[in-house]
Amino acid sequence: MIAGALLFGVLGPTRPTPIEKIEDLSIHRRFSRNFREHLVLISAVAVAAFLVWIPRSIQSLPIGGDTLFYISVVDTMNREGPIWAVVYTDKPFFYLVLYGLQHITVLSTADFFKVLPVIFAVGTTASVWFFVDSFYKEAAGYASLLTATSTSLMRTSIDLYASFFATILLFLTLGIYLRYREEMQVRQRSLLQVLFVVTLMSYWFVWGLLLVMVGLAEAISKERARRLKAFLVVSLPSIITLGLFTGVALLRPPPLYWGLGSSFGLYLGNTVTPVGTVTYTSATLDLSDLGLLQYNPVVPILAVVGLFFYRPRNFPSRTIYIWAFITLAFSLISTTGLHAALLIPLPVLAGIGLRRMVETL
């Protein structure tokens, strides 16, 4: 269904992309619209926090199979120090954030992991609003509300801590990039460079998705040479950072170093892991178990409506189409597993679809 809508959007008859741009609103009307938009955002954040917190408030044991792993990581960092995350994990920044938040909140590790999913659900909901608001303000509230209901679903709320965190970074990075793409100043460029590096050090697969997605969208845009050069300036520090980590992995092979460089080396064909030598002939990822598809059928249906009305005729829409094509392709050809239920932009497309349906009423 989604694949058909994607193909229709690309190959179907041309029609204008229905994005409302109202530049000359009166002060009163602009204030009223902004108030409504922020009220919807606050409501969505409250819904996300409430739905994710409920099961954790009545369950004394940790929820989710991976939760125990994350608890052990934080406990290990409390014993060995934060540098342990850099030397022995492939998501050093993410684990350092967990370590820092746990110390700031002064909660026990078990209590902290009851609160953490609420923080990530709120962050994901707000970041979706920020992203959609950068190119389609009228649909931002709908997308954030649909995201809020999706964050509490069984498959997407049990243990996807790293996926939630990386998705927040992804939406924030895309939102800033779209806002300042036309006239990017040094401050915005520097902020994007930092976000690319942080995303790499939090979940390198999401960083790779971001790099390919925006790079392809720029490659098929007007003035592609200038656009690609500007995008290279933004992404180059993160590419250099990955090269440095990979270099460390080559110079200090396991057991001296098990960090990001070693993890990335795994997908280059051969690496040594704590359980022995592992060889992959190809790097494959499994997105077929999409929680948003499996447990909330309304969202993909609305996403199809969004794809039908929001055609790839400008840079934001092309970016979303490329994003959906990439993740859908992985879901069809992959053979190994990865928790990536939040990587397909269903809530964004569903928000656009819902907005269009409301307009027709």
Q: Which pLDDT value is given to residue 277? A: 45
Q: Which pLDDT value is given to residue 128? A: 93
If you search the block for the tokens 């190809």, which residue do you land on?
282
**Amino acid sitting at position 9:** G
pTM: 0.83
Please state the domain extents for the chain: 2-11+28-360
Q: Mean pLDDT throughout 30-53?
A: 82
Could you give the 3-state DSSP secondary structure of residue 278? Answer: strand
Tally the C-alpha atoms within 13 A of residue 357's C-alpha that lie toward its C-beta. Answer: 15
**Amino acid sitting at position 87:** V
- Of the two residues 176 and 359, the one the predictor is more confident about is 176
Q: Render pLDDT for 107-117 as a digit per residue (tens, 0 to 9).
A: 998 889 888 98
- Of the two residues 13 and 72, the one the predictor is more confident about is 72
Q: Render pLDDT for 116-166 as a digit per residue (tens, 0 to 9).
A: 988 998 999 999 999 999 999 889 999 999 888 877 665 555 557 888 899
Mean pLDDT of the chain: 78
Q: Mean pLDDT throughout 196-215?
A: 92
pLDDT surpassing 70 at residue 354: yes
Q: Render pLDDT for 254-277 as a digit per residue (tens, 0 to 9).
A: 666 667 766 655 555 444 444 444
No. of H helices and E strands in the chain? 17, 2
